[in-house]
Structure 1
Amino acid sequence: MTVLTLTLIVVFSLAAVAVKRVPAGQVYSLYRYGKQVRLLQPGTHVVLPLLDRVGHRIDLGGRVLRFDASLAETAPVQGTVYWQVLEPERADAVIEQADQLIRHSALDALQAETEADQQERLQMAARLKSSLNQQLRERGVMVTRVELDAAA
């Protein structure tokens, strides 16, 4: 192989790596030297090869989180939290810990609740959703629905 051939291979390889395709419903956070530079919205983008890297692939669709809570004086409670990312620029910093943040916040909010019948359980779910959204809104995440079930 000649030097020209090797040079062409390297140039075409770098050009191929420089093109990033972001699928619909997702956002990629682009990092340079360990700091976030920008968010790549759905579509095709050209980035600087060897300098830029994709830090997080953030799905903007809804997600589901199941949890079990054993509260001190009541029967165990199982639940489902439906959540989604609304502001990817805020959520980027905590996206890897989002499930743990939501689970921890849900368990903290449920600690204050007592035993509930079906109507009270619906009200507890609404209060839990409100409490979670107050804590998570500043991080760019929103809880869209909470369902609570009595544990079997």
Structure 2
Amino acid sequence: MSPNTIFALFCVLALLAFLSVKRIPEGTVYTLRRFDGHARTLKPGTHVVVPLVERVVHRIPLTGCELAVNEQIVLDGTPRQLKGQLYWQVLDPERADTMIDRADELIRIRALNAMRDVDAPAHESFDLRNARLKRALNDNLRDRGVVVTRVQLHLV
């Protein structure tokens, strides 16, 4: 073998070794997928992966997320504006992995449905309505590995 071939082979091996080490930051979980569909979850720390076979599919933050809500809804036959924020967090990354790409939309839709499911929600107090929405959302989302930590919505 020529020296150039040995050098090129050494560079390729060094690159593969460099790509096989993943550093996962605190407060984050990575989901890896292989070509055959097998998935695994990497928690914070340094991990060895199989380069070119496994790829990072999701970077799931565990510290919490904020979802702004600004929706027009009809309550008691009257169009109303629902504004505010929902705060949510991933508790179980393995279960949340299947829906993490569409989590904001799923939480928004479930919040609107929970608001519509109650008779006269416009007559509830601000705190009572938000506590009820939080409870309804958590009953609905906990099986998906997600929990709503705070609801701050108001009707305009």
Instruction: Compute the TM-score of the two structures, normalised by the length of structure 1.
Output: 0.91
Against the structure 1 CA distance between its residues 144 and 34, is the aligned structure 2 distance closer, same or farther, given a 3 Å change threshold?
A: farther
* 1:85-104 alignment, distance < 5 Å: 85-104=90-109
2:63 to 53, 61, 64: 61
* Aligned partner of residue 113 in structure 2, secondary structure: helix
For the residues of structure 2 that align with 1:150 and 1:132, how far apart are their CA atoms? 18
Give the RMSD, CA atoms, in angstroms: 1.5
Q: Counterpart in 1 of 2:130?
A: 125
Q: Counterpart in 1 of 2:39?
A: 37
After superposition, the C-alpha distances for 1:61-105 in whole angstroms (9 at most, x for unaligned) are 111111123332353221211100000000011000000000000
For the residues of structure 2 that align with 1:9 and 1:134, how far apart are their CA atoms? 53
Q: Counterpart in 1 of 2:12?
A: 10
Q: Counterpart in 1 of 2:153?
A: 148
* Aligned partner of residue 123 in structure 2, secondary structure: coil
1:138 maps to amino acid: D
After superposition, the C-alpha distances for 1:29-53 in whole angstroms (9 at most, x for unaligned) are 0111152431111011111111111
1:134 maps to amino acid: D
Percent identity over the alignment? 45
For the residues of structure 1 that align with 2:153 and 2:20, how far apart are their CA atoms? 46
| Gap regions ≥5 residues in structure 2 | none
Q: Counterpart in 2 of 1:107?
A: 112
Larger displacement relative to structure 2 (6-15 or 73-82): 73-82
How many residues are aligned here? 149
* Aligned partner of residue 35 in structure 1, secondary structure: coil
Q: Counterpart in 2 of 1:71?
A: 73
For the residues of structure 2 that align with 1:77 and 1:45, how far apart are their CA atoms? 44
Instruction: Compute the TM-score of the two structures, normalised by the length of structure 2.
Output: 0.89
